[in-house]
Amino acid sequence: MKPVRRSMILLMLAGTSHTAFAQDTLDIIVPFAAGGATDIVARSFEPPFSDNLGVTSVVRNVAGASATEGTAEVANSEGNPNIIGYEPAGALSIQPSLKDLPYGPDSFTYICRTTSNPMFLMVSQSSDIENFDQLVAASQEEPLLYGSSGPGTLPQLAVAALVGESDLEASHIPYSGSGPAMNALAGDEIQIMADTETILANYDLRPLAVFADHRIEGYEDVPTIGELGLPEMEFAVWQGLVAPKGISQERKTQYSDACKATLESDRFKSFAEKAKAGIAYLGPEDFEAFVKQRYDANKQVLRDVGLIE
Amino acid sequence: MDIILAAVGDAFAWQALLAIVVGTWAGIIIGGLPGLGSVVGLTVFLPFTFGMSTITSMALLIGVYCGSVYGGSITAILINTPGTPQSAATTFDGYPMTQEGRVDEALGWATFASFFGGVLSCVILIFCAPQLAKFAVNFGSIEVFALICLAMMCIVGVSKGSVMKGLVCGMIGFFLSMVGSDPITGADRFTFGSYALSSGLTLIPVVVGAFALSEVFVRFSSRDDPGAKIPEAKLRLPRLGEWFKRLIELVRGSLIGSFIGALPGTGAAAAAFISYASAQKLSPRRDRLGQGEPDGIIASESSNNAVTGSSFIPTLALGIPGDVVTAMMMGAMVIHGITPGVRLMVDQAQTVYSLFVVLIIVNVAMLILSKPSIGLFRYLFRLHQGYVMAAIVIFSFIGAATVRGNPLDLVVAALTGILAYALRRADYPLAPLVIGMVLGPELESSLRRGLLIKRGDFLEFFTHSGISMTLFSLLALFIIWTVWSGIAQRRQSSANAPRAESDATK
C-alpha cells in the first residue's frame, strides 16, 4: 500500500505545482491546425504579445468543426485569466448561427481585433469577363458556379449575398479549402470566387469588385459593390483576440494594451506586410460591437440563402 | 546557370546539410513510431524553424516529411503496425514476408523503393512541374470521383478469402468518415446530438486503433506463443540485378505516386492504395500479392514517397498546397517572406532550385540513414515484448491526442482498437476499413460536387470529359476483369476438386 500512497502524494504535489505555475503561462488557443494561415499570424503575433504582457505563452492548436472546437474551449474556460483565443471571423460571427454550439456572441470577453482584409469578387485571369456587368450578362446566358472554402464560410456568404441583391445567377459549390477551390477555378469547374488580397495576388486572379465601403489601396480601379448600383456590402476576413467571460477588468485592460502595443510593433508590422495581413486594431468595446453587428448581418444572409430558418 | 550554382551552394551549406541529417533521421524515427506521423513531426519541428534561414528551415521540414513517410514502413513490416497511415498498404506484403523470416529483404525493398520513388518524383518535379500542374488542373470533381472509385477497387484485392467481409469493413470505414459535418451543407450528421462528435473522426486515431492497438491486443492474447516474438530488424538492400528485374514495378509505383501527389487534396495514403490496386492487376507476380511479395511493398512505398516530391508541384506551380503537409510547408515559407503562388518560380527561382536540390539530398540521406535507424529499432525491439507493446500504446495515444488536441480522439482510438480486435478475431480484413476511411471523404464530396455541377444528372458524369470517360472505362474493365477471373478460378477449382477426390479414393 505504501508505494501507492506515496505516488498519490507525489501526484498531488505535481498537481499543486502545476496550478502555481499556471499563473505565469498563458494559453493561446488557435482553433486551426498548426501551419494554417491563421496559425501563422497567431504565431507571429505571440512573441511581441508575450513580451508586452511579461508572460510565457504557449500557442495551442485545437482544430476541428470549422474552428468551433477551439473557440468552444475558450468559451468554456469561464473565469480563467490565463487562456485566450486567437479567433477567425467565421467561428465568432457565422458558426453560432449555423450550428448548435456551446457558445454564442455573448460568451466572451472581447479583447481586440487584430487584422482585417476586405474580400474581392474575382474571376480567373483567363476568362473574358472584365467587369461586373459582363459577369451578370454571362450568368444570364448560362448560370455560373461559385466556389468557397466550405459550407457556411465567408466566401460563400459574400457571393450569396451578392446573388440575392443583384441579377447575378450563380450557385454554390463548396470545397474542402481555398486550395482545392483555386484548383477548380483554374480548371474552369467554377467561375467565381470571393476571397482576400492574398489569394488574389498569389493566384493571379482578376478582381471585379470589392466588398468594402471604399476602394482599396493598390486596387484603385476596382469598384466597391456600392458603386455598382447595389446596396453597400462589407465582407472582410478578420481575426481577433477573445478571452473567456468572468475575467477581471484589470486583466482585460492588460490584454488589450498588450494587443495594441503588439500591433504597433515593428516586428509584427513587418510580418503583416509580408503575409499581406491588414492590421486593423479595434479596442474591446468597438470589437464587441463589431462582432455582434457582423453576427446579425451574417445571420440575415444565412437566412436569405436558406441555410438556416 | 549562375542561379543554379548559387542554389546548389545554398543547399550544400553546412547548416542546410545538418538540418537535412537531423530532420531526416528524426522523421524516420517519428514515422516509425505508430501514431506519430508526418503532421506531428512537422508540428514539433515547425517552431524551431522560425529562427533559421529559409533554406535551412525548408531542409529541416522536408527532411522530417520525407523521413516520416519512409519511416512508417519500418514498423509496418516489423510488427504489422503502419507507423503512418501512408504506409498502411505496406503491411499487406511486408508483414507476411516478416512471418516468413524475410525481414531483411522486406526492409531492403521498402528502403530502396522509397528512395527510388522519392528521387524519380524529384526529377519529375524539376522537369515537368508546369506541364503536370496544367494537366492536374483538368482533374475536376468528376474526374477525381472516377479516380477514387478506381482506388476503391483495391478493397477487393486486399480482402483475402471473403470479398463480402472486405466490403463490410470498407463500409464501416466509409461510415466512420461520414460522422461530423456534411461537406456540402455543413449540417451535423451521425453525431447523436453530441457536440464532441460534430468535428468528426480523423484518420490518425482510427488508424492507430485499427492497426497499432489491435496488434497489441492480438499479441497480448498470444503472449505465450513463442512464434509471436518481434523478429530482429535487419536490412539488406536489393542487388542491382534484383531491382532491375522489378524496374517496371518501381517505375509504375513512382509514376502513380508522382501523379497523385500533383492533384490537390488526395495525398500519400490514397496514392499507396491506388498503386497497390494497379499492382494487383498489372504485376507479373500478382498471384503471390498479399502473401509476402516484394512487388506489394514496392507498389506501396515507391508511390507514397513519390508523393513527397510531386506534392510540391501544385504548391510551386499554382500556389495550391497538395495536402496538409505541404500546406504546413507553405506556412513556413510565408513566415520566411516567400509568398507561394503562381509567380514563385519567377520571383524566387534560386529558392525553388535549392528546394529541388534539398529534396534530392534528403532522399540520399534517407538511404544512408536507413541502416542506423533500423539499427535503432532493432535495439528498441530487443527489449521485452511487454515494454515494446506498452510503448506502442503510449505513442499511439500521444499521436491520437496531438493531431488536433481533442480528447475525443483518445476514446475513438480505444474503441476502434477494440472493434478492430473483434473484427480480426472473426477474420475480417482491417485494411478495407482504413481504405474506406482514407478515400471516403473525397469520394463523397467529389460525387456530391459533381452532382451539383451536373444539376443532379449522374449519367452526364460518363460523358463529362475525355479524362472521366477514360477513367470510367478503366473502372468497367477492372470490374469485368475481376468478375471474370473470379469465375474462371471457381471453374478451375471445381474442375480440380472432383479429380482430387478421385485421386484420393484411388
Q: For residue B290, which amino acid is it? A: G
Chain B, window 59-118: residues with a beta carbon less than 8 angstroms from a chain A beta carbon: none
- pLDDT tens figures, B356-397: 899 999 999 999 999 999 988 888 888 888 888 888 899 889
Nearest partner of B29 among B318, B375, B339, B438, judged by Cα: B375
Q: What pLDDT is stored for residue A24 in this prediction?
A: 65
Q: What residues pair up with B249 in beta bridges, in sequence order?
A: none
Q: Which of A137, A133, A134, A135 is nearest to A146 (CA)?
A: A135
Taking the mean position of all CA atoms in its chain, how far away is CA A140? Answer: 33
Residues of A in contact with B445 (CB under 8 A): 176
Helix (H, G, I), strand (E, B) or coil at B378: helix
- CA-nearest residue to B442 within chain A is A176
Task: Report the C-alpha gap between B41 and B26 in whole angstroms.
Answer: 8
- Using the predicted structure, report yes or no on whether residue B504 has a pLDDT greater than 60: no
pLDDT bracket for residue A22 (50, 70, 90): very low
Which residues of A fall within a CB distance of 8 Å from B140?
184, 187, 189
| B 398-427 residues inside an 8 A Cβ radius of A | 404-406
Query: What is the rounded average pLDDT of the residues B298-309?
Result: 92
Q: Is the dihedral of CA A86, A90, A91, A94 positive or negative?
A: positive
> Which letter does DSSP use for residue A147 in this model?
E
The percent of residues in chain A predicted with pLDDT above 90, rounded, is 28
Contact B340 A203 (CB under 8 A): no
Distance from CA of A41 to the nearest CA of B (A): 9
Spatial contact of B147 and B410, defined as CB atoms under 8 Å apart: no
Give residue B227's pLDDT: 59
Q: At residue A2, does pLDDT exceed 90? A: no
What 3-state class would DSSP assign to B369? helix
Closest CA to B447 of B65, B152, B163, B36: B152
Band (A15; pLDDT cuts 50, 70, 90): very low
* Nearest residue, CB atoms, B181 vs list A66, A101, A171: A66
Minimal Cα–Cα distance from B340 to chain A, Å? 7
Between residues B167 and B263, which one has the greater pLDDT?
Answer: B167
List, in sequence order, every residue forming a beta bridge with B189; answer none if it has no partner.
B180
pLDDT given for residue B1 in this prediction: 67
CB proximity A223 to B under 8 Å: no
Could you tell me the fold of the domain covering A2-116+237-305?
A: D-Maltodextrin-Binding Protein; domain 2 (3.40.190)
- On chain A, the residues whose CB falls within 8 A of the CB of B139 are 183, 187
**Tens-digit pLDDT profile for residues A68-107:** 888 888 988 888 888 999 999 988 999 888 888 888 888 8
Beta carbons of B340 and A202 less than 8 Å apart: yes
Are the C-beta atoms of B332 and B54 separated by less than 8 Å? Answer: no
Which of the residue ranges A263-267, A274-278, B145-149 would you say has the lowest mean pLDDT? Answer: A274-278
User: CB–CB of B181/B188 below 8 Å?
Assistant: yes
- Grid cell listed for B327: 500546406
Q: Kindly tell me if the per-residue pLDDT of A276 is higher than 50.
A: yes
Q: How far is C-alpha B259 from the geometric centre of its chain's CA atoms?
A: 14
Whose CA is closest to B258, among B155, B116, B380?
Answer: B116
Q: Is A99 on the interface with B (CB under 8 A)?
A: yes
Note whether A37 contacts B: Cβ–Cβ < 8 A.
Answer: yes
Max avg pLDDT among A197-206, B110-119, B203-212, B400-409: B110-119
| DSSP assignments along A177-198, one per residue | SHHHHHHHHHTTS--EEEE-HH
| Separation of CA A261 from chain center | 21
Give Cα separations from A119 to A113, A161, B165, B411 (angstroms): 17, 13, 50, 40
Superfamily of chain region A120-228: Periplasmic binding protein-like II (3.40.190.10)
Contact B449 A183 (CB under 8 A): no
| Spatial contact of B36 and B69, defined as CB atoms under 8 Å apart | no
B321 vs A44, A171, A179: nearest CB: A179
Taking CB atoms and an 8 Å limit, are A64 and B406 in contact across chains? yes
Cβ contact B397:B413 at 8 Å: yes
How far is B273 from chain A, CA to nearest CA, in Å? 21
A54 contacts A75 by C-beta, under 8 angstroms: no
Helix ranges restricted to H, chain A: 2-22, 37-53, 68-76, 89-93, 95-98, 132-141, 154-165, 178-186, 197-202, 249-264, 266-275, 284-305
Express each pLDDT in B191-241 by its tens digit: 888 877 877 888 888 888 888 899 899 888 887 666 567 777 788 888 888
Phi, psi of A30 (to 5 degrees): -110, 120
Q: Where do the CATH 3.40.190.10 domains begin and end in chain A?
A: 120-228
What pLDDT is attached to residue B27?
Answer: 93
Residue in chain B closest to A35 (alpha carbons) equals B328
Instruction: Please indicate whether, in this complex, the C-beta atoms of B137 and A176 are within 8 angstroms of each other.
Output: no
pLDDT (tens digit, 9 = 90+) per residue, B434-493?
A: 888 888 888 898 999 999 999 888 988 888 888 899 989 988 988 888 788 778 878 887
Residues of chain A with CATH 3.40.190.150: 2-116+237-305
As a whole number, the mean pLDDT across chain B is 85
**DSSP annotation of B85:** G
A102 touches chain B (CB under 8 A): yes
* CA B289/CA B291 separation, integer angstroms: 5
pLDDT of residue A16: 42
Q: Please check whether residue A60 touches B, CB under 8 A.
A: yes
The verdict on a CB contact (< 8 Å) between A40 and B449 is: no
